Structure 1
Amino acid sequence: MFTREAIASFNELECSLYGYITKNAEKVAYMRIRELADENHVSTSTVLRFCRKVDCAGYSEFKVKLKMYMSEKQHIKLKSTQHSLSEFVERTLKGSFESYIQETARLIAQAESVIFLGIGSSGIMAEYGSRYVSSLGKSSLYIKDPFFPIQSKDSSNSVTIALSVSGETAEIIDLIKCLKEVGSTIVSITNNKVSTIARISDLNIAYFVTEEYSGKSNITTQIPVVYLLEAIAKELYK
């Protein structure tokens, strides 16, 4: 409802109004326009202008959309961690993952360096993977900055472990392209095999669990990623 573009367009009074609404959404949903204006020391025309900026024809439509917005947030049902783990065990460990793990470990062993790549929660996993591999004797680095400058001297004869749940993260796709151009071998860990990142990788490991979202935030479990990173590192140690 409150898009990035809409928020960027707010003036000082509208920003104050936005802050009040987000903190008091349940109350605002039943307030008259005059009550909301008086509470925030603004005019009703300011409230109406605010409504138009969030794509509402008027205050009545704004209150309807606000109630729907609140209802959507309240009815998000998340799977338990136990359910996610069971799903991973059932769908993933029955597959031919051992060969993918062994092949990834072999590629890393032959490379001069290993780079872990991810953004957001996948960036945290990239940092974890890099630390775990380094702890077992293979020096590595991680990149979770979408604007990280790729240098050929650091990336040639390297293996990049690219992490993305959706496999469609635009910033990761751009970084992969840069890394491929300087000679890095790309191994991706994604949630499916038909994504862009999976298709442009030299090797893809897909783990297939149900994706979950809270609003626009992807909150899909990272349990499969942790397992795969640790399994690759331990296979490399052997």
Structure 2
Amino acid sequence: GRILMGVQNPDCDDAKRNLSTDFDPYDVRHSTVYLCLDNRHDYRGDYNMEPLITLYDIPDSYVAIHKCMNTSIEYDERIPTFGTHRPLWPRYGEYKYVPTQRWLHNAEHGAIIALYHPCANKDQVEQLKRIVKSCLYRHVITPSVLPSKDRPFALVAWGALLEFSVLQREVLEDFIREHALKGPEQTARDGQYDHLLLAPAEVVSTQDDAELCPKLQHRRRD
């Protein structure tokens, strides 16, 4: 049968052992995936570059496979929006880095994954974080070398991808409202993997995101 999600099993995935199969957060040699090693100028963004949305027609019968940490996972798409992933998913929030094989599980739960190239414009990166954090609790934010030079930012939902060169709040919010919470496994339960977690997600409307990207006057105030 399918490997159970969310169950910590040292023989399969306990979010502690064999992490280097995907990414070892404690091995400096693996840190290249979240460092800018190219010329930042090449990723500065272009206001004439249109945002690009790619939608995938996933059959209702499709069930993503869970694979243990002793097996590597590769993807056909440059930026996957569905597919095989790890049984334990990341806690929601902003990361120094979290690997694709982890965050894809969050997308299956209806989350929005915000990706930015490590060389992307820093002001734009901060804007991206603010917008996503103000839209929904179920988010994962991480640098990634998957976005392109032309469009160094991406939002991933289950079966849906938005790639963009410069931030436009309306474009991001429209995508989130349209494609968040559409994963086949609807749960707001927090994950078990939290290596390099910088800022745990905060509830925006409700724990299960009853209202996506609420208008400012409705946003929860603590």
Q: Specify if TM > 0.5.
A: no
Structure-2-length-normalised TM-score: 0.25
> Relative contact order: is structure 1 or structure 2 higher (C-alpha 8 Å, sep ≥ 6)?
2
Structure-1-length-normalised TM-score: 0.23
Higher Rg of the two aligned structures: 1
